[in-house]
Amino acid sequence: MKDVLADFVPGFGVEEDRAGYDFTFLDFFPDLELYGYNDVFGNPLLNPSETVGITHLIFTVAVLIVLAVCAFIARRKYRDRDSALVPDGKLTWSGFFEVIFDAVLNMMTEMMGEKNARKYFPLIATLAVYIFFANAIGLIPGLYHPTSNLNTGLACAIVVFLVYNAGGFIEHGIGYLKEFIGPVLWLAPLMLFVELLSHAFRPISLSVRLAGNMTGDGLVLEIFANLGIELMNMPLLLPFPFLFLGLLVSIIQALIFSLLASVYISLAHEDHH
């Protein structure tokens, strides 16, 4: 794969020796310098020696376009009330989304009751579908899963953080702050510190877990693709069995993110005694 790209793409592989799954279609435009790191957004806080790239943003937009097209196709079934009530006899986009939405709604209902589940269902279902597609797109050679970038998961996690805290204040008013100070006043300073730290780490844990697992999944595919090139000059042969594992990881990570987001919302709405 590397040799093929080198024949058709001027300058490919000059700065980095990439092969297997460690490339995207952006490598066909080396003059744009969009691959990996560039100085579009300057230096990141965690690693000032590097610069923030926009590869994850490009593929995030690609995922959103794919989802919009799929949603438009699935919506055609619901234009007619009678046809909307009849289950599809085969796998369709509408049936695919129905399975996901039904599973997400049932999970949320068990945690926070039917009223709150329906209230927050659009947010959690959107996160589940987006994260799954953003994870799975990286399994296709030449594409990249934007969820392996910490910024993508952090953006989703911050939305969850703001929503569940706003929901807690709406549900309990100023009494929501009682959760942060504990049951007795003499423990209030310690409990306030512990609770603030705990809540601050929730979006961090959500984003780091997602980015870490998807980065590891990409590295596994990359390693075996490179090994396939070195042994048989066939980059897609060795990582093929790991595509099924990658699909499983994509599903599990979307489920975990949605599950934890639902837990945080449920905890913010429950009565604290």
Cα three-residue angle 261-265-266, rounded to 5 degrees = 115
What is the predicted pLDDT for the residue at 161?
94
Would residue 176 count as lying in a domain? yes
Q: Please give the tally of structural domains in the chain.
A: 1
Q: What is the mean pLDDT of the chain?
A: 76
- Indicate if the pLDDT at residue 265 is higher than 70: yes
Residue 187, domain extent: 2-81+92-269
- Indicate if the pLDDT at residue 77 is higher than 90: no
Cα separation, 226 vs 229, in Å, equals 5
More confident residue, 181 or 87: 181
What is the predicted pLDDT for the residue at 2?
41
Give the residue from 242, 251, 244 showing the smallest Cα distance to 131.
251
* DSSP-assigned states of every residue in 175-237: GGGHHHH-SSGGGHHHHHHHHHHHHHHHHHHHHHHHHHHHHHHHHHHHHHHHHHHHHHS-TTT
More confident residue, 273 or 54: 54
Would residue 119 count as lying in a domain? yes
More confident residue, 237 or 94: 94
Would residue 226 count as lying in a domain? yes
Asked if residue 40 lies in contact with residue 54, where contact means CB atoms within 8 angstroms, the answer is yes
More confident residue, 194 or 223: 194
What is the predicted pLDDT for the residue at 81?
66
Asked if residue 145 lies in contact with residue 134, where contact means CB atoms within 8 angstroms, the answer is yes
Q: Please write the tens of the pLDDT for every residue from 33-47.
A: 444 444 455 555 555
- Indicate if the pLDDT at residue 59 is higher than 90: no
Would residue 87 count as lying in a domain? no
Would residue 133 count as lying in a domain? yes
Q: Please write the tens of the pLDDT for every residue from 104-147.
A: 999 999 888 888 899 999 999 999 999 999 998 888 877 888 88
Residue identified by tokens 């601050």 is: 200
Asked if residue 91 lies in contact with residue 70, where contact means CB atoms within 8 angstroms, the answer is no
